Amino acid sequence: MNTAKQINIMIGLMIVGLFGTFLYFIFDNGFNAFGLDFEGRQNAAVVRQEKTNVERGAVLFSLNCRACHGLTGQGALERAGLPGAPLNLEDNRPPELTEAQVKAKADRFNGTITCGRVGTLMPPWSRDENGPLNDFQIEQLVLLITSEFSEEGWEHVVEDGNHSDQFGPRKQLAAAVGPGDTTIQLNDASGLIVEDALRIGGDTIDEAYEVLIILSIDEDTGSVEVERAAMGSKALSHEAEVEVYNGPLAPPDGPIIGAPGTVPPCGQKNAEPEAAT
């Protein structure tokens, strides 16, 4: 083989090698130009991991935060009297926020979840402050609030909450109920307890729900006398066969974090005596 052919073969192999390297770079990092948009393995892995962490944050929220912040994470916007701040807001996530604004929000939420908020009912959740959550779990909660996948996460919150609140076996309305009715008919009234709360509605994040307090029970007929529009909810109409859930836990009425005479978490200053909840 003469020298010219050897040189041509070497050049060809170099071109093939460079082209292969270029293709691998695109495969690993993605490509977005000339009307082409390929996500890339690395970017896909980042997205997949963030979605997973948002879902895990949803589970944590459903288990720990609903009593104060609500089933949908909207606080008093969801139901009057809930003391927790609204978290499921467009103002807390993209595309309403720039990357820098998201980081600032995330840092603030991380600090609040870690250390609590003096003068309110919000306790410290970090294990470093005798709370139940580690740093990674707190970060997952922050991602639920601030991630571009936040809306999917809140749908998981409602799904997990409804699963946790289901009766076994499931209970349903046996007949439609109007806003003024004070007696509801269930397919099965067994196991209910007077003064416990029930929830009707809230099957999806966009569906309003009503909380009812049980006043009396007739297990033989499935008839339940109730107080309507309880716990800050509004009286609604409900169709027959709608599922009935265990009602929400009442939010705590104390203690106020950092109240005078206590040691505030994370070295914060004590709350003023007149601090609101």
> Could you tell me the pTM of the whole model?
0.83
Q: Is the pLDDT of residue 269 over 70?
A: yes
The pLDDT score that the predictor gives to residue 8 is 72
The owner of tokens 């006043």 is 215
Which residues partner with 244 through β-bridges?
171, 200
64: domain range?
48-163
The owner of tokens 């997952």 is 140
In a domain, 108, yes or no: yes
135 and 107, same structural domain?
Answer: yes
Q: Looking at residue 239, which CATH number applies to its domain?
A: 2.40.10
111 and 176, same structural domain?
Answer: no
In a domain, 98, yes or no: yes
Q: pLDDT band for position 2 (50/70/90)?
A: low
Contact 60, 133 (CB under 8 A): yes
pLDDT in tens, 200-225: 999 999 999 999 999 999 999 999 99
Question: How many domains, the chain?
Answer: 2
177 and 157, same structural domain?
Answer: no
174 and 149, same structural domain?
Answer: no
151 and 54, same structural domain?
Answer: yes
Last residue of a domain, one of 163, 193, 222: 163
For residue 87, what are the CA distances in angstroms to 184, 187, 217? 33, 36, 37
Cis bond upstream, residue 179 (ω within 30): no
In a domain, 7, yes or no: no
Last residue of a domain, one of 163, 188, 206: 163
Q: Looking at residue 131, which CATH number applies to its domain?
A: 1.10.760
Q: Which residue type does 88 have?
A: N
125 and 67, same structural domain?
Answer: yes
In a domain, 10, yes or no: no
191 and 150, same structural domain?
Answer: no
Q: What percent of the chain has pLDDT over 70?
A: 90
In a domain, 121, yes or no: yes
DSSP sequence for the chain: --HHHHHHHHHHHHHHHHHHHHHHHHHHH-EEETTEEE--HHHHHHHHHHHHHHHHHHHHHHHHTHHHH-TTS-GGGTSTT--SPP-S-GGGSTTTS-HHHHHHHHHHHHHHHHH--TTSS----BGGGT-SB-HHHHHHHHHHHHSTTHHHHHHHHHHHHHHHH--SS-EEBSS-B-TT--EEEBS--TT--TT-EEEEE-SSTTS-EEEEEEEEEETTTTEEEEESS-TT-----B-TT-EEEEPPPPPP--PPTT-TTS--GGGPPPPPTT---
Those residues whose C-beta lies under 8 Å from the C-beta of residue 233, and which sit 6 or more positions away, are 79, 80, 209, 210, 211
pLDDT in tens, 10-37: 777 788 777 767 666 666 666 555 555 5
The pLDDT score that the predictor gives to residue 14 is 80
Is pLDDT larger for residue 47 or for residue 66? 66
In a domain, 236, yes or no: yes
Q: Is the pLDDT of residue 44 over 50?
A: yes
Last residue of a domain, one of 143, 163, 183: 163
Q: pLDDT band for position 87 (50/70/90)?
A: very high
The pLDDT score that the predictor gives to residue 274 is 47
103 and 175, same structural domain?
Answer: no
Contact 31, 17 (CB under 8 A): no
63 and 120, same structural domain?
Answer: yes
140 and 182, same structural domain?
Answer: no
For the record, the structure tokens of 128 come out as: 């470093």
Longest dimension (CA), the chain: 102
In a domain, 207, yes or no: yes
Cis bond upstream, residue 260 (ω within 30): no
In a domain, 102, yes or no: yes
